[in-house]
Chains A and B, each alone.
Chain A
Amino acid sequence: MKHCEYQQIDPQALSTPTPTPTLPLQQAVVQEEKKGETARRKWEVFPGKNRFYCDGRIIVAQQSGVLPLTLGLILVTTVLFFVFDCPFLLKHLTVFIPAIGGVLFVFVVISLLQTSFTDPGILPRATPDEAADIEKQIDNSGSSTYRPPPRTKEVMINQQVVKLKYCFTCKMFRPPRTSHCSLCDNCVERFDHHCPWVGNCVGKRNYRFFYTFIVSLSFLTVFIFGCVATHLALRAQGGRGLMFALQESPASAVELVICFFSVWSILGLSGFHTYLVASNLTTNEDIKGSWSGKSGAEDTGNPYSYNNIITNCCSVLCGPMPPSLIDRRGFMPVEESSQTVATEIELAAKKEINVVGGPTPSQLPPCALQVPPSPIPLPATPNHLQPDLQTPV
């Protein structure tokens, strides 16, 4: 812990080893007590637009999008299935039907919650020292008095030229495949898209959860659809007709309608993402046509692909799980907490917005399943962190 001591300091004695001074003022004592008792966790001062729960363990986007609707639809359909269709099918067919349904349902819900609550691969913003260092390097190559056009840096990746863009919000050159999500106000590694159905970005760390979610949801939807159709067909046997069957089991009609309208989009999405996984592409790159040669350049294959479907699939879905880079639950360094006294009101307000803020479900057309990020980075937002010039040794 650093303390400030009140004594006459002889400027000529500055080269002597640093003493450990203490602040004797009352305010300072209270401040120090505060420092000891309520050291801030890093999620409380996180500059992006995310919200945190369970003391930083759970991270979601600012707006939960239509996640409640997604969960609701899945729960309602599956509960109706188990209550109204399973008893009949259990009696007339096999016990495996509810068993398989149960397993699929568990997979769907767990992978959905993991996609929504996991850090997608957010890159922490550059520290002021880093930003200054980068600015120095850029200014060396060309000066300007106004904000220059988007800065780019070219690197060679697997013998191919790739342009790295400078992010004005995060104050750094974005690594390859990283994109800035305007909804979450973060740079996300291997950015795929911001999914409103899931209420979070899909990026490097949670892509495998997202893929598991949509694949298992496809299976679940098709399974329920098939079982309900079988159920109604069995009831309608013997010339009694479909209307009779529907009258006996009206819930099945509800399930049929829900499944029928969602199966096409979900199957389509699963197919699309299977293609992306097999070619090691992201939705973002596919939409922009980064590697398909649309830009007119000759040698534009995907430099990240292993050119082998199996290797691509394995590396995307079964590769090592990268760690979260934002260290949500770590404690702020002590110098930060003394400097944040002035901005405590601001931070408290932000904390309330972060933790308590109610979601505003956006009304989205059913076909807008994916929201591509804005291609232009946002202008720099005020950084709540004070400059950290002293690194604790």
Chain B
Amino acid sequence: MAETHSLQDMRQQAAIAAKVFIQRDYTNGTVCQFQTKFPSELETRIDKQQFEETVRTLNNLYAEAEKLGGSSYLEGCLACLTAYTIFLCMETHYEKVLKKIAKFIQEQNDKIYAPRGLLLTDPIERGLRVVEVTIFEDRSLGR
């Protein structure tokens, strides 16, 4: 029994070769931005431009979510006047953008990363700390 489990685990572990973590970039303060530096582990798998483009688009989406502007102030003031009870019924601007981000990551995974044996994890599942890139073993090489 135990052997079967460990064999199966081995098989699953063989599938995941490594995980790369793209850390946050704090040069502009506490806004959610990720480093665009291309990690060396991905050099063999994906084009640098492509990857940097993905991270840059993600950063732009998060900047849009946290943007201080007319509409966010309006939302904030309206919320204050209603003693913040509208947060219980209404979806905030940030949440709407988070849904957009989830869709974007799904799209990127389907079109670009999955065919190359990579998987992007939505940063919200990691507390907006990192973008986790899972590198799967190249099956064609066998093990």
Query: Which A residues have a C-beta under 8 Å from some C-beta of B?
Result: 4-6, 9, 11, 14-15, 18, 21, 106-107, 110-111, 114, 123-124, 126-127, 129-130, 133, 155-158, 162, 164, 172, 175-177, 189-190, 208-209, 212, 303-304, 311, 314-315, 317-323, 325-327, 389-391, 393
Contact = CB atoms under 8 A, between A and B. Distances in A.
A212 B80 contact: yes
A315 B72 CA distance: 9
A320 B124 CA distance: 16
Contact of A319 (B11, B24, B72): B72
A18 B119 CA distance: 18
A176 B84 contact: no
Interface string B2-20: 0011011111111110010
Given A15-B143, A110-B85, A157 B8 contact: no
A85 to B, nearest CB: 24
Interface residues of B, number: 55
Interface string B58-83: 00000001111000110111011001
Nearest to B3: A9
A123 B67 CA distance: 21
19 contacts: A4-B8, A6-B1, A15-B139, A18-B15, A21-B8, A107-B83, A126-B129, A130-B132, A311-B68, A318-B73, A318-B80, A320-B72, A321-B75, A321-B76, A323-B92, A327-B125, A389-B13, A390-B13, A390-B16
A304 B30 CA distance: 8
A-B CB proximity, top 7 nearest = A318-B76, A124-B127, A110-B83, A325-B127, A15-B142, A321-B92, A320-B94
B84 A212 contact: yes
A111 B73 contact: no
Interface in B60-117: 65-68, 72-73, 75-77, 79-80, 83-85, 87, 92-95, 98
Nearest to B83: A110
Contact of B26 (A106, A130, A162, A321): A162
A272 B120 CA distance: 44
A230 to B, nearest CB: 27
B54 interface: no
Contacts of B16: 389-391
Contact of A130 (B4, B21, B85): B21
B129 A114 contact: no
Contacts, number: 138
Contacts of B119: 391, 393
A321 B4 contact: no
A155 B29 CA distance: 10
Contacts of A164: 26
Contacts of B87: 321
Interface of B: 1, 4-5, 7-16, 19, 21, 24, 26-30, 65-68, 72-73, 75-77, 79-80, 83-85, 87, 92-95, 98, 119, 121, 124-130, 132, 134, 139, 142-143
Contacts of A4: 4-5, 8
A209 B83 CA distance: 8
Contacts of A390: 12-13, 16
Contacts of A321: 75-76, 79, 87, 92, 94
A258 B124 CA distance: 45
A43 to B, nearest CB: 15
A319 B68 contact: yes
Contact of B4 (A9, A158, A172, A391): A9
Given A133-B19, A319-B76, A326 B30 contact: no
Given A9-B7, A110-B85, A172-B129, A318 B77 contact: yes
B29 A106 contact: no
A3 to B, nearest CB: 10
B4 A320 contact: no
B42 to A, nearest CB: 14
A129 B132 contact: yes
Contacts of A322: 66, 94
Contacts of A11: 7
A211 to B, nearest CB: 10
Q: Choose among A133, A303, A315, A321 the residue with the greatest number of B CB atoms under 10 Å from its CB.
A: A321
Nearest to A173: B23
Contacts of B21: 129-130, 133
A170 to B, nearest CB: 10
A325 B7 contact: no
B60 to A, nearest CB: 15
A189 B31 CA distance: 12
Nearest to B32: A322
A223 B4 CA distance: 73
